[in-house]
Amino acid sequence: MSFFLVAFLVSTIAAATPLLLAAVGELVVEKVGVLNLGVEGMMLSGAIAGFATAHETGSVGLGVLAAIAAGMAMALLFGVISLSLQANQTATGLALTIFGRGFSALVGARYVGIPAPTLPKLHLGALSDLPVVGPVLFAQDPLVYLALVLLGLVAWGLRSTHLGLILRAVGDQHNAAHALGYPVLGIRYAAVVFGGALAGLAGGYMSLAYTPMWAQDMTAGRGWVAVALVTFAAWRPFWLLVGAWCFGALMYLSLYVQALGLPVPSALLSALPYIGTVVVLVLISRDARRIRLHRPAMLGQPFQTRG
């Protein structure tokens, strides 16, 4: 039983990591009043860029950097269209996802079934050898710990720093922030690029660590779940971790329930994470007061400089 528990916990954390990375980036983007629904496309672009670079160079480190760069490039494209040209943010994000899916499928066609270097797991000596807690807490790959560190830094930065105050001010009342002399568009561009970097990194994690291979649409809707997690968390950072871990647990529930021999249809269990996401969002949407209390007031609204 302890073997199944350890395997389940390790798998849950691994499944939650790309969601957490992408959701932390999207949280920062939405905090400045921008709604980017292109997370799925940025993740796919990061996944193929990371995998292809790692395969061609033999360096997983360069693969990770390429994944980040691909996510940032896609985010810049989104920024130019939605921030500078002031196109509808929802439509632009959807178009970015469609473009990312097509682009990654085109580039990745020659990499299907080809191996690439994978991100190694850390071994912290005696800590990693501890029963149960060792493999769960002290034998993960570096990006698992990086995701947790980034979550903590973003939470602290948004809550306790002057920069966080500026970001929240831009998201809550961009005209007032502009009147105080803050470059609203510049701040939003920086946040969008940061979100793209983390989405690309999440995609790179998928192809270099989580399932070290390339397959078309391998993110399987995780970008959409990451966007939903931000709403589930009510724009509060540490609730992202709870949501990501819950989704990761539901994702692996089907495998371990089948291993235990319980008579539950596998198709139903595989759909549970997505069903759970929809149910949670429906329940949250009924609490209008909670949404108004935490939602950035300028979310999705373009900023226009008044001459």
Asked if 13 and 192 count as a contact pair (C-beta separation under 8 A), the reply is no
pLDDT at 126: 80
For each successive 10 residues of the chain (307 residues), what is the average pLDDT? 76 93 97 96 97 94 97 97 94 96 94 88 81 85 95 96 95 93 96 98 95 91 92 89 88 70 72 78 71 84 75
pLDDT at 278: 78
The domain limits of the chain are 2-294
CATH ID of 2-294, from 3.40.1350, 3.30.810, 1.10.3470, 1.10.260: 1.10.3470
Rg (CA), the chain: 20
pLDDT at 288: 67
